[in-house]
Amino acid sequence: MVEKEVRQEKSKGTMDMLLENSIALQKTLADLGMSLRELNKKVSLMLELFEVAGRTIKEKPARSSDLAEKVDLLIKQNKTIARGLLLLEKSFKEKEAERETKVQPLPSI
């Protein structure tokens, strides 16, 4: 009799745990479903944006070539600035080396 009650208590505890886990799983699945719906909406909006951008580029090809020319000009300017900075660095290092060779430490007494 006592063993039967102990088994029933264990069985009841196991059932309660299974019920709690099932409820937690259902909540997680519901959250996942809502997240997937939200993601689907955002991907649809992004796809729509790309479609509009594609149509706009097809309609105005001259504008995109102007943009490409401007980007090329910026790249050339960037390269020129980078060369100038490298020359400044080189010049600075040479002057620093000259100063170090001119300045000699005083002999210790």
End-to-end CA distance of the chain: 105
Average pLDDT of the residues of the chain: 85
The first and second tokens of residue 4, run together, are 């039967």
Assigned domain for 73 exists: yes
**Residue showing tokens 């100063």:** 99
pLDDT at residue number 61: 62
* pLDDT given for residue 31 in this prediction: 94
Measured torsion, CA atoms of residues 10, 16, 22, 25, in degrees rounded to the nearest 10: -100
Judge if 32 and 67 occupy the same domain: no
* Mean pLDDT across 4-10: 70
Is 49 found in the same domain as 71?
no
Domain boundaries, position 55: 1-59
Higher pLDDT, 21 or 107: 21
Which residue's structure tokens are 């001119």? Answer: 102
Whether residue 72 is contained in a domain is answered as yes
67 and 50 together in one domain: no
In-domain check, residue 108: no
Q: Are residues 51 and 4 in the same domain?
A: yes
Whether residue 57 contacts residue 64, with contact meaning beta carbons closer than 8 Å, is answered with yes
Between 65 and 34, the more confident residue is 34
Q: According to the model, what pLDDT value does residue 105 have? A: 61
Kindly state whether residues 55 and 72 are assigned to the same domain.
no
Contacts of 57 (CB under 8 A, 6+ apart): 64
